[in-house]
């Protein structure tokens, strides 16, 4: 073994991978989680909870389809409620995965190698959760396919001036690209599992998925190129997705929605909440599966820094929004600001400021930034805060708009809550399944972090 300094990329900072590993040990350590490690009680409990919540979700959805969207708290004027709030929240969470796997790849951030795999998985499941809501919130969900351009008997098409159609394209594209990106990344590791698996059936299934990958130099070259290009495409894509989501609001004429600052601060907010979710997943996992050597202090700290940065951008967004509402001098915008600060939902607005701007400032201090327990807490608070932000944007803008005569209030029903919590359960269940059947850390990319891998360049 060479001396550790080589493997750490500069400074006295923690390494991205603890010293003492070889190609073989990395491979065994990660693949064993999938191949040999027995199912633990902790996992069973977690999965059980997720499964039950998923069943609750299905019940809520079944009942929704039976009775209609009226079982929720939505009304006139508040035509959008929890459904859209949750949609924006989940889709935002998804963003971190693509950011880590694509943007950090382009930026040659080696530390991403040990977290990109499960971050991407997180993206997929989050987008899946998000994708449910636009369909569920329809008055006639069975006609959701009318939003896709298909030659139909009515000879009529989607209305491409509507941001909702943009959403359909943005989200479905985002999901597709994330899926293939994730799968491409998996192929070499699937090959590894194919060759490691003792269980014949496992070997066959992994073998089919690996598509006969054999690590030929030619393949690797094309592979790397394709991977790089995908990253290059995914980067503008991920930025566009939340921009488009923000258009749902920014395109409308409603005070509090009709704002040009939405796209940037939606994207920042997305990454903010995304990294919060990454930490909430990484911290327990590295502990539970003893992966502290691969997901090191360094990763936690970097993620924390990203959160701090994006959190400040979001804060700037709030400030500018408020300032423009006041400075713009438009009565309706002025009132929106007043209503946020003093209206019936004011407590939520203050809570939002506390969660997204107040508490996360502890991340300025390295001592706390490197404390997993505290990071976990901050991440949770930020996720709550980001959910509140979407609630403020959707509900508080709608419930008091232009004509005072049609002002109203929005109160979620138990069905709103069941659907929301249900998707969290679904997310949990899906993620726990993932870490049991696929390598949650990219094995081949970890190999490249080893000194032996770097020797080649050394010569």
CB of 18 to other proteins, least distance (A): 18
**223 versus 387: smaller Cβ distance to other proteins:** 223
**88 versus 382: smaller Cβ distance to other proteins:** 88
Q: Which residues contact 55 (CB under 8 A, 6 or more apart)?
A: none
Measured distance CA(459)–CA(455) in Å, rounded? 6
CB of 372 to other proteins, least distance (A): 29
CB of 216 to other proteins, least distance (A): 5
Angle at 179 between CA 137 and CA 161, to 5 degrees: 45
Measured distance CA(62)–CA(47) in Å, rounded? 22
- Kindly list the distances between the CA atom of residue 333 and the CA atoms of 173, 252, 261, 330, 398, in Å, as whole numbers in the listed order: 34, 14, 14, 5, 12
- Kindly list the distances between the CA atom of residue 137 and the CA atoms of 93, 140, 246, 353, 420, in Å, as whole numbers in the listed order: 20, 9, 18, 28, 12
**346 versus 374: smaller Cβ distance to other proteins:** 346
Contacts 24+ apart (CB under 8 A), 165-168: 166/244, 166/247, 167/134, 167/244, 167/245, 167/248, 168/134
**380 versus 417: smaller Cβ distance to other proteins:** 417
Measured distance CA(208)–CA(194) in Å, rounded? 9
Structural tokens at position 92: 């935002």
CB of 430 to other proteins, least distance (A): 23
CB of 75 to other proteins, least distance (A): 4
**19 versus 141: smaller Cβ distance to other proteins:** 141
Place of tokens 């509090």: 256
CB of 10 to other proteins, least distance (A): 22
Q: Which residues contact 17 (CB under 8 A, 6 or more apart)?
A: 7, 114, 293, 294, 296, 446, 449, 450
**287 versus 414: smaller Cβ distance to other proteins:** 414
CB of 98 to other proteins, least distance (A): 12
Measured distance CA(307)–CA(185) in Å, rounded? 25
Radius of gyration, alpha carbons of the chain = 23
**41 versus 405: smaller Cβ distance to other proteins:** 405
CB of 71 to other proteins, least distance (A): 7
Measured distance CA(409)–CA(396) in Å, rounded? 9
CB of 250 to other proteins, least distance (A): 12
CB of 261 to other proteins, least distance (A): 18
**44 versus 144: smaller Cβ distance to other proteins:** 144
CA-wise closest residue to 443 among 24, 6, 9: 24
**56 versus 377: smaller Cβ distance to other proteins:** 56
**52 versus 226: smaller Cβ distance to other proteins:** 226
With beta carbons less than 8 A apart as the criterion, state whether 7 and 450 touch.
Answer: yes
Structural tokens at position 139: 């008055």
């Amino acid at each position: 073994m060479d001396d550790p300094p080589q493997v750490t990329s500069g400074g006295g900072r923690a390494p991205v991978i603890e010293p003492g590993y070889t190609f073989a040990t990395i491979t065994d350590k990660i693949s064993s989680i999938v191949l040999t490690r027995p199912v633990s009680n902790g996992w069973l409990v977690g999965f059980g909870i997720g499964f039950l919540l998923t069943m609750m979700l299905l019940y809520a959805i079944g009942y929704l389809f039976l009775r209609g969207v009226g079982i929720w708290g939505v009304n006139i004027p508040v035509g959008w409620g929890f459904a859209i709030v949750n949609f924006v929240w989940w889709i935002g969470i998804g963003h971190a995965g693509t950011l880590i796997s694509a943007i950090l790849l382009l930026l040659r951030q080696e530390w991403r190698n040990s977290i990109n795999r499960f971050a991407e998985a997180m993206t997929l499941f989050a987008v899946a959760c998000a994708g449910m809501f636009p369909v569920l919130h329809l008055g006639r969900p069975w006609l959701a396919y009318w939003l896709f351009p298909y030659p139909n008997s009515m000879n009529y098409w989607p209305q491409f001036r509507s941001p909702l159609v943009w959403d359909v394209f943005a989200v479905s594209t985002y999901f597709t690209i994330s899926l293939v990106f994730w799968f491409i990344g998996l192929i070499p590791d699937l090959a590894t599992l194919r060759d490691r698996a003792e269980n014949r059936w496992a070997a066959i299934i992994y073998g089919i998925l690996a598509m006969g990958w054999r690590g030929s130099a030619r393949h690797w070259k094309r592979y790397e190129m394709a991977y790089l290009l995908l990253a290059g495409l995914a980067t503008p894509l991920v930025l566009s997705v939340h921009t488009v989501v923000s258009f749902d609001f920014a395109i409308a004429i409603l005070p509090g929605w009709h704002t040009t600052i939405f796209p940037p601060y939606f994207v920042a907010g997305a990454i903010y909440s995304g990294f919060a979710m990454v930490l909430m997943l990484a911290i327990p996992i590295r502990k539970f599966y003893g992966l502290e050597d691969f997901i090191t202090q360094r990763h936690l700290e970097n993620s924390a820094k990203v959160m701090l940065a994006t959190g400040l951008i979001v804060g700037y967004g709030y400030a500018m929004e408020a300032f423009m509402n006041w400075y713009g001098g438009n009565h309706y915008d002025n009132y929106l600001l007043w209503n946020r600060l003093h209206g019936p939902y004011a407590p939520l607005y203050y809570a939002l400021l506390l969660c997204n701007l107040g508490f996360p400032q502890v991340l300025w201090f390295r001592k706390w930034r490197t404390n997993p327990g505290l990071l976990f807490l901050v991440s949770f608070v930020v996720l709550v805060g980001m959910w509140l932000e979407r609630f403020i944007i959707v509900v508080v803008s709608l419930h008091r708009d232009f004509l005072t005569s049609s002002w109203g209030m929005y109160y979620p029903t138990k069905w709103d809550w069941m659907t929301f919590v249900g998707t969290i359960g679904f997310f949990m269940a899906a993620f726990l399944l993932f870490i049991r059947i696929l390598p949650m850390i990219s094995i081949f990319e970890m190999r490249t972090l080893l000194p032996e891998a770097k020797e080649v360049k050394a010569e």
